[in-house]
Amino acid sequence: MDKFGKKELLKNPNCQDSIFVGLCSLALLVYSIYHHFYDHNTSEWKTSPYLFPTLVSAFGILLAFSLLADALHDLQAFEKSAESAGQKQVRSVLVLIGASLIYYVLLPITTFIPATMVFLLALFVYLGERTWWKLLLLSGITTGVIYVLFGIFLNVRLP
């Protein structure tokens, strides 16, 4: 960011998206917490109608930080060749679609946890992570968080 100023950062679409998503998520978080506590709501958090907006806003805030990190990374590693970058993006999209189709096929066969772990391991390897303990830790924690949030707290039936 030494070569590029704040104006260049603010021109980056990822930074603009980060600001927008972050502000919307913060507004949703304030809205849901305010209404849970001040609308004479006598229900617990796990049965509150404001739990889901709170969870969505938390994920939105994480997404905003991720977009901001992408914007900073884009400024540091700016590629001059737009054509090669476009070809890389098309290949990445095709790989993601293929991995998602394989995940869709594996899901009924192996159930949610093993299929999701394999899917995430494959995508992390594709994205360049090669350390085996990081791969297992990232895919295990991500799968566990999804399972706990949706399978246990929100009582969503997972395959």
- 87-100 pLDDT, tens digit each: 677 888 888 899 88
Residues 62 and 86 in one domain: no
* Percent of the chain clearing pLDDT 70 (strictly above): 84
Residues 121 and 153 in one domain: yes
| pLDDT at residue 78, as a whole number | 63
| pLDDT at residue 24, as a whole number | 92
Q: Is 148 a residue whose pLDDT tops 80? A: yes
Residues 100 and 66 in one domain: no
Residues 115 and 56 in one domain: no
Residues 90 and 134 in one domain: yes
| pLDDT at residue 58, as a whole number | 87
- pLDDT digit string (tens) for 47-73? 777 778 888 888 888 888 888 888 887
Burial class (CB in 10 A: 0-12, 13-18, 19+), 72: middle
What is the band of 2 on the pLDDT scale with cuts at 50, 70, 90?
very low
Task: Evaluate whether 62 touches 33 at the Cβ level (below 8 Å).
Answer: no
**Close Cβ partners of 147 (under 8 Å, ≥ 6 residues apart):** 112, 113, 158
| pLDDT at residue 1, as a whole number | 44
**Close Cβ partners of 64 (under 8 Å, ≥ 6 residues apart):** 18, 19, 21, 22, 25
Domain tally for the chain?
Answer: 2
Residues 42 and 108 in one domain: no
**Of 44, 62, 78, which residue sits at a domain end?**
78
Q: Which domain holds residue 8?
A: 1-78
| pLDDT at residue 42, as a whole number | 66
Across 104-124, average pLDDT: 89
Q: How far apart are CA 31 and CA 50, in angstroms?
A: 9
For all residues of the chain together, what is the average pLDDT?
82
| pLDDT at residue 45, as a whole number | 66
Main-chain phi, psi angles of 68, to 5 degrees: -65, -40
What is the band of 26 on the pLDDT scale with cuts at 50, 70, 90?
very high
Q: Two tokens at 157?
A: 């039936």
Residues 47 and 93 in one domain: no
What is the band of 41 on the pLDDT scale with cuts at 50, 70, 90?
low
**Of 62, 78, 94, which residue sits at a domain end?**
78
**Of 57, 78, 99, which residue sits at a domain end?**
78
Q: Note the maximum CA span of the chain.
A: 58
